[in-house]
Amino acid sequence: MESINAKYVSQKISKTRWRPVSHSSLQQPEIFATGSWDNEDNKISFWSIGNNGPSGLEDGFEGDPQLLCEHKHDGDVLDLQFLDQDKIVTASSTGAVTIFRHHQNSQTVSVSQCWARAHRYPCDNAPCTGVVCSSPEIVTVGEDGRIILFRADQEGVMRVIENADSSTIHAVTYLRTTEILTVNSIGQLKLWDFRQQSNSPSQILSLSGDRVPLHCVDRHPNQQHIVATGGQDGMLCVWDVRQGNTPFSLMEAHSTEMWEVHFHPTNPDHLFTCSEDGSLLHWETSAHSEMPSFLQGGRNNSMISRSAMAPAGGNQSLISAWLSGDSSKGRLETTHMLPSQTLSVNSLDVLGQCLVCGTDGEAIFVNRQVPV
């Protein structure tokens, strides 16, 4: 726990994301972005944990996040995704989708492009609840049940699926280059194929029994058919989209809403969840002996942004623990990552050996020694 740095920032943090590190470099991430919510003036902010921060960094504690720059954000930041090294896309409670550019030479932020009221009701704005990027494409979802496809290099909208859902769509991720997954407020996971002109999903999976709202989704980086979701009941659900229409396994994770779930992008034996109950959990399968050598020792792995497309294939043994049904409980170890429970942990991101999370307690926590 001593490797965790806490930074109090006088604003509730709704989202936090590492800036992607290039494939070829073996460095650990140093810069991350945060978005705020429920404040009088919301912001997106860029932070550094490296040595390229402002002068005087050596006066602080090593690893203490240093504010590089920030920019006012209209409405709550409901999602945040890096498009590339310099640009980040935000989803706003006002329904707007905005691309911000981080100018690293001058450490300033500017608005590169904005689609105001992208998500809307007939007579009011509808919050944009989720965004996922595969540069130059951007996909957003919202409370209005719409799915919108943008391109960062074009002003117009590429495609809109108007009535994709009759309920709120809470989150979106890529399954493959032309396919996305959405989760909604009635416990459904929907697959959409942009190659099809149809405005209907190509597949619908759902939680059996009660229609528990799903809040978050992430795809296994190597095995695209494996997906993890979390929702209002705090359960961690693992799905195999090739087989059946219900979750493959359900695990009790948190006592209240799970806000985010993320596989480690280069070592998916490790998974992380955070919750309204103030906890941040590290899930680890115990199949280490079967791990191929290129995934051992995390420190020297090449890293990618989680929104980038991972190659198909991968080692089958890596995923056996996630897909071994309820018996997998015995093969999963869970660790509490925060020293003590706090107010809601709204967001987390992990890259290399670095983990960052943001809370309603107006604090950012950074761990640079994640055991992966």
Each residue's pLDDT expressed in tens, for the chain with a length of 372 residues:
457 899 999 999 999 999 998 766 667 899 999 999 999 999 999 999 976 545 444 444 566 899 999 999 999 999 999 999 999 999 999 999 999 999 999 999 999 999 999 999 999 999 999 999 999 999 999 999 999 999 999 999 999 999 999 999 999 999 999 999 999 999 999 999 999 999 999 999 998 777 899 999 999 999 999 999 999 999 999 999 998 888 888 899 999 999 999 999 999 999 999 999 999 999 998 654 343 322 333 322 222 223 322 333 333 434 456 776 444 445 778 999 997 777 999 999 999 999 999 999 999 999 998 988
Distance, CA of 296 to chain centre: 24
Residue 319 is predicted with a pLDDT of: 44
The helix (run of H) or strand (run of E) holding residue 169 is strand 169-176
- With the CA atoms of 179, 244, 306 and 7 taken in that order, what torsion angle do they form, in degrees rounded to the nearest 10? 130
Q: In this predicted structure, what is the pLDDT of residue 135?
A: 92
* Domain spanning 5-21+29-50+61-285+327-367, CATH architecture: 7 Propeller (2.130)
What pLDDT shows up at residue 121?
A: 94
Residue 46 and residue 353: Cα distance in Å, rounded?
19
Name which of 41, 90, 13, 29 is nearest 347 in CA terms.
Answer: 13
CA neighbours closer than 13 Å in the CB half-sphere of residue 358: 28
For residue 61, the model assigns a pLDDT of 55
Q: Determine the Cα–Cα distance for residues 43 and 48; give it in Å rounded to an integer.
A: 16
Find out whether 337 and 367 touch, Cβ atoms under 8 Å.
yes
Say how far residue 58 (Cα) sits from the centre of its chain: 31
pTM above 0.75, yes or no: yes
pLDDT of residue 301: 26
pLDDT for the residue 96: 98
**Gyration radius of the chain's alpha carbons:** 19
* Single-letter code of the amino acid located at 297: G
Cα distance between residue 97 and residue 80, in whole Å: 10
- How far apart (Å, rounded) are the C-alpha atoms in residues 97 and 131? 9
As a whole number of angstroms, the distance between CA 360 and CA 344 comes to 5
State the pairing for strand pair 66-73/42-48: antiparallel
Q: Give the model's pLDDT for residue 27.
A: 79
| Strand order, beta sheet including 188-193 | 169-176, 179-184, 188-193, 203-206
Q: Which residues contact 190 (CB under 8 A, 6 or more apart)?
A: 164, 165, 181, 182, 183, 184, 201, 203, 204, 205
Asked if 183 and 169 touch (Cβ cutoff 8 Å), the reply is: yes
Spatial contact of 118 and 148, defined as CB atoms under 8 Å apart? yes
Distance between CA atoms of residues 215 and 173, nearest Å: 12
Give the integer Cα–Cα distance in Å for 339 and 146. Answer: 40
Whole-number pLDDT of residue 328: 44
DSSP line for 203-230: EEEE-SSS-PPEEEEEE-SS-TTEEEEE
178 and 216 in contact (C-beta within 8 Å)? no
Query: Is-contact 170 183, C-beta < 8 A?
Result: yes
Between the two ends of the chain, the Cα-to-Cα distance in Å is: 15
Separation CA 195–CA 359 (nearest Å): 38
Q: Which two tokens stand for residue 104?
A: 């690293």
Domain boundaries, the chain: 5-21+29-50+61-285+327-367
